[in-house]
Amino acid sequence: MWAILKKECKTYFASPIGYVFIGLFLAMFSILFYITTISQGVTTFQYVFFYSAMYSLVFIIPLLTMRMFAEERKNGTEQLLLTSPRNMIEITLGKFLAATLVILITEIFTLVYFGILCYFKTPDIPAVAVSMLGFLLLSMAYIAFGMFISSLTENQIIAAVVTIAAFVLTWLAPNISMKLVSFSLIEQFYPFVTGVFPIAETINLLLLTIMFIILTIIVMKRRKLVK
Amino acid sequence: MIEVKNVTKKYGNFLAVDNISFTVNDGEVVGFLGQNGAGKTTTMNMITGFIEPTEGQIIVNGLDIHKKPTTVKKQIGYMPEGVPLYTELTVKEFVKYMAELKKVSRKERKEKIELVLKETGLEEVANRQIRNLSRGYKQRVSLAGALIGNPEVIILDEPTVGLDPKQITDIRALIKNLGKKHTVILSSHILSEVSQICDKVIIINKGKIVAIDTPESLEKKTQSKNALLITVEDKENNMIKLKEEIPEILECKLIKDNEDGTKQYVVESEVEVDLRKKMFEVLPKKEITIFELKKAEQSLEDAFITLIENNTQEIKEEKQKDTRENQKKDKKEENKSTEEKKAKKNKSSKKENGGNN
């Protein structure tokens, strides 16, 4: 697993993808940071995470996930991976954790903004910590889903478009009918921002992540039979 | 040792590999021969565990690849078709990644990587990104990836495609060298390559094994006539009458009229008859000067084409037979139904007639 994790990280940062992802995210984060805190004169740093989850994460997560399996399949490197003495669980987890690591690195960068706020007034630290954790959990669920879509196709663009479409649909679902609220991951994330650690939502997001990781493993294992 | 037992692979209704069985012994170099789409790659993909057979069993060194995939895969080095590589990595990074994937222990890793890079002649480009390398080098990187970890079985899918002649001879020499210590399976459609490198040839056509044999005996088996190529100076055109002189000659054909006055003929006889001695005795008497005389040996290429053609013919004939039988059945059924109809008609007309009476 470590071998795959290491190589995937290398790929993120040997190609522009890793930098583009972090750059785009931080650009959006800066704008939202200015709008929601500086211009309002408040220090509710946790809300920046909420808005950036809504307005930027949804659109840029596919940058990390679209290539995961689709690229390997297209280039044929899938053969190298699947004929190596590694099982599907290791391969999938390695790839998943590499993308999660990129998110973690991005979150560390956002601490700079936290520092800026501290200059004015120390924000509510527990609330920020909980929302950062929630942000990570939400990203993990998104990554797992994006990875699953990537395992279904060999076309990266299709993987990206389907992933974004699914995210936007679940995001807007509660606007159509409140019955669909449980589909919306953003709604799952909202309680974290309030600063109270929500156990139910944490379990929910974790289960969702695990479910899509398992689905990916099943898809990849099944391909041996149908390919 | 690799045992392939009654393996079949279906894609929907398409039979890619049709009930094949063969064994590859330790230390053997085996070549898969076949036209494009014959099932070579599919078979290799099944041996390496990349895809699963629809039916049948593949056993590598006593272990079923389906039941013990990780143990078996560790013993196999695979160079897939079309040399897939992580082009964003450098050569060294790639080989290191492959070593890690194959669970080469940390202690040995560095040493083994150096060794493989040296074996495949990649030392000069070790720190260059793979995407910037030429095709020949990429091929070698792929080969290095297969060799790392010193696997007992090495499977190479078309290892020399797209290389220049110098690189081809290099790679062939390398494979031959590998054959001393490893079991090697390679596929190719270059026949001379297979006859040079391999101890055993497996010819596949349309998913079926046509022949398993050594290259030499395959050539012999498919030879139907003995042919001599003979270049002569023959001013009085006596060569045409040669058949009357030597009754064993089946055919004597002019194939080339050279500008310097010499002519080249091909003289054919039965396989068991060697005419060379007789030619030297008879021709001078007929005032024919021999410039050159040699036995035309049938190459593996001819053997391959004969086998494939025969096999394809057989398959076609079988199909025709089937369709003919089906047609016959259909006809019989048709006849039956028309007869029944007729019988019914007769009955009804009889009834009518009866009614009238």
pLDDT for the residue A180: 80
Chain A residue set in contact with B, beta carbons under 8 Å: 2-4, 6-7, 10-11, 14-15, 75-87, 224-225, 227
Best mutation target, B47, B79, B86, to test chain A (most A CBs within 10 A): B86
User: So where are chain A's domains?
Assistant: 2-226
B156 shares contact with chain A (CB less than 8 Å): no
What is the pLDDT confidence band of residue B357, given thresholds at 50, 70 and 90? very low
pLDDT > 60? residue B91: yes
Q: CB-CB: which of A75, A76, A83 is closest to B48? A: A83
B285 vs B280: CA distance, rounded Å: 9
Which segments of chain B are extended strands (E)?
A: 2-11, 14-24, 29-33, 55-60, 63-64, 76-79, 153-157, 183-188, 200-205, 208-213, 225-233, 251-257, 262-270, 289-296
**Sheet with strand B14-24: strands edge to edge:** B14-24, B2-11, B55-60, B63-64
Q: A85 and B69: CB-CB below 8 Å?
A: yes
ipTM for the whole predicted complex goes beyond 0.90: no
Most confident region among A37-41, B9-13, B83-87, B215-219 by mean pLDDT: B83-87
pLDDT > 50? residue A218: yes
A66 vs A95: CA distance, rounded Å: 12
Q: Which two tokens stand for residue A88?
A: 């599907």
Q: Which of 122-151 (B) contact A at CB < 8 A?
A: 145
pLDDT > 70? residue B3: yes
Of A64-73, A145-154, A166-175, A203-212, least confident by mean pLDDT is A166-175
User: Which residues make Cβ contacts (< 8 Å) with residue A32, sequence separation at least 6?
Assistant: A48, A51, A52, A55, A56
pLDDT > 70? residue B299: no
pLDDT > 80? residue A172: yes
pLDDT for the residue B297: 66
B337 vs B353: CA distance, rounded Å: 24
Contact at 8 Å (CB) between B305 and B218?
Answer: no
Residues from chain B that touch A76, judged by Cβ atoms under 8 A, are 80-82, 84
Percent of chain B with pLDDT over 90: 23
Mean pLDDT of B6-12: 89
Q: B51 and A225: CB-CB below 8 Å?
A: yes
What's the pTM value of the predicted model, to 2 decimals?
0.80
pLDDT in tens, A96-118: 999 999 999 999 999 999 998 88
pLDDT for the residue B100: 92
pLDDT > 90? residue A20: yes
What is the pLDDT confidence band of residue B324, given thresholds at 50, 70 and 90? confident
pLDDT > 60? residue B348: no
Q: Which two tokens stand for residue B134?
A: 């030429």
Q: A224 and B50: CB-CB below 8 Å?
A: yes
Mean pLDDT of B190-212: 84
B73 shares contact with chain A (CB less than 8 Å): yes
| CB burial readout B54-81, b (16+ within 10 A) else e | eebebbbeeeebbeebeebbbbbbbbbb
pLDDT > 90? residue A30: yes
pLDDT for the residue B355: 44
Mean pLDDT value across chain B: 83
Q: Which two tokens stand for residue B293?
A: 């005389």
Q: Interior CA angle at A8 toward A6 and A12, to 5°?
A: 115
Of A197-211, B88-102, B260-274, B299-313, least confident by mean pLDDT is B299-313
Most confident region among A192-201, B254-263, B308-317 by mean pLDDT: A192-201
Of A50-59, B99-108, B287-296, least confident by mean pLDDT is B287-296
